Amino acid sequence: MKINVEKAVKHAKELMQVGSEQEARVILNDLLLVEPDYIPALLMLGGSYFCEALYDEAETIFRKLVSVAPGLGEASVAYFNALWQQGKRDPALREIGRFTAVADKEKETQTLQDYQTLLQQLDEQS
Task: Indicate whether 1 pLDDT > 70.
Answer: no
Q: Look up the domain containing 84 and give its range.
A: 5-125
pLDDT for the residue numbered 97: 96
pLDDT, mean of residues 33-50: 96
Task: Indicate whether 32 pLDDT > 60.
Answer: yes
Task: Indicate whether 109 pLDDT > 70.
Answer: yes
User: What's the whole-model pTM score?
Assistant: 0.92
**Average pLDDT of the residues of the chain:** 95
- Residue 15 is part of a domain; what is its CATH number? 1.25.40.10
pLDDT for the residue numbered 2: 66
pLDDT for the residue numbered 31: 95
What's the number of domains the chain is made of? 1
Alpha helix positions (H), the chain:
5-17, 21-34, 39-51, 55-68, 73-85, 89-102, 109-125
Residue 3 binned pLDDT confidence (cut-offs 50, 70, 90): confident
Q: How far is CA 11 from CA 15, 63, 87, in A?
A: 6, 24, 34
